Amino acid sequence: MKKDQIYWLSLLGLILDQLIKRFVTKHLLLGKVVSIIPNFFALRYVQNTGAAWGIFGDSALLLSIVSAIFLIILNLYLSKETHFTKQSIIGYGLLIGGVLGNLVDRILHGYVIDFLDFNIINYNFPTFNFADILIVVGVFLIIIEIVRGEISGNRSRKRTRSLGPISK
């Protein structure tokens, strides 16, 4: 049942991502900047043919293949995994939904629709989208889950060693 929750959350993330991107392409002109918070946040419709920060420009096919392989490997891992926490369910669901959102863009358009544009301390952060947020938050939650597991695993091992051998 918990694996189903991952996929339902992924589907929700994918649908929201695509609805937002449809709104952006319908209501924003390509390259036009709409200032929301002056000198901090704007909407800017960009067609990104590469990955984050525009690296691997004009590589939609390669990035689509890499995304598909990643999703296959992740699904194989999830099919064998038996223990899921609420945090890991959310993390994997967001990650898969975000990867799917950008993969759908690459397959349908040959580029990813980006539109969130931040200027932070005079640094114009690369324009990104909702799917990217899902990916980053998902990875962050998974990393926290892994680190927390490592820490609690180390604590339980220390406690076991400090108790010494158990006698009957």
Query: Distances from the Cα of 105 to the Cαs of 56, 89, 145, 154, in angstroms?
Result: 16, 24, 30, 42
Catalytic residues: 114, 132
Within 13 Å of residue 120, how many CA atoms lie on the same side as its CB?
Answer: 6
- Cβ(67)–Cβ(106) under 8 Å? yes
Residue 7's CB is within 10 A of a number of other CB atoms, namely 15
